[in-house]
Amino acid sequence: MHTGYGSPRPNSISDDLTVQPDADTRVIFNNHKIVYHFFNDTLVVFIRCADQTPPVPYLKLAQPLRLRFLLNVSNNFLNKTVVDPVGSVHVYQFSNQVNAGTGGVISMHTQGVNSDDLKTVSVVNPDENCFAVIDIYSSGAINSAYDLFSGASENLNDPGYSIPFISKI
């Protein structure tokens, strides 16, 4: 989420950032026929599910599971956004396990991303240099509504997560 993009502005946040799975997540996606696509301001992950309610993934995923996405941003994004500089020492980390607790927000504060979301690269250990890491775990969230799965049959909860960036404009 970022008020510097979208209506009434004609551009999309997807013009100024890229989101891609890390190497381990790409392997999981390939082995389980999971696909992802970034639509304007929303990253959507699609998984084939058995025809039942609640949905259960067609191919069982090993538990515990971590899906990691690497986020890179343009200078235009940085010019429009209140963020601290990152580089070889720091990276933002967003996770469904440690979150603001309501509304699907996976930053440390519902008001928006700030320095509390900034971690050292040596702790986060991303595959490559990036602006931020988004870690989605199958379970273990402070708020169980943020978990991907529930129950012994691994019912897919279909949660939606958001990261509120604070606009400079």
Q: How many domains does the chain have?
A: 1
* 125 contacts 84 by C-beta, under 8 angstroms: no
Query: Is there a domain that residue 112 lies in?
Result: yes
Query: Is there a domain that residue 8 lies in?
Result: no
Candidates 153, 147, 138; CA nearest to 58 is: 153
Tokens linked to 126: 């991303």
Q: Is the peptide bond before 159 cis (omega within 30 degrees of 0)?
A: no
Residue 51 bridge partners (DSSP): none
The pTM of this model reads 0.89
Query: Is there a domain that residue 82 lies in?
Result: yes
pLDDT string in tens for the chain (169-residue length): 777 777 665 678 888 889 999 999 999 989 888 899 887 678 888 888 878 787 778 777 877 889 999 999 999 989 999 998 787 899 999 999 876 567 888 999 888 999 999 999 999 999 999 999 999 988 888 888 888 887 665 777 878 888 999 989 8
Domain extent at residue 146:
13-156
**Owner of token pair 């960036």:** 165
Q: How far is CA 9 from CA 3, 12, 26, 169, in A?
A: 9, 8, 33, 11
Query: Is there a domain that residue 132 lies in?
Result: yes
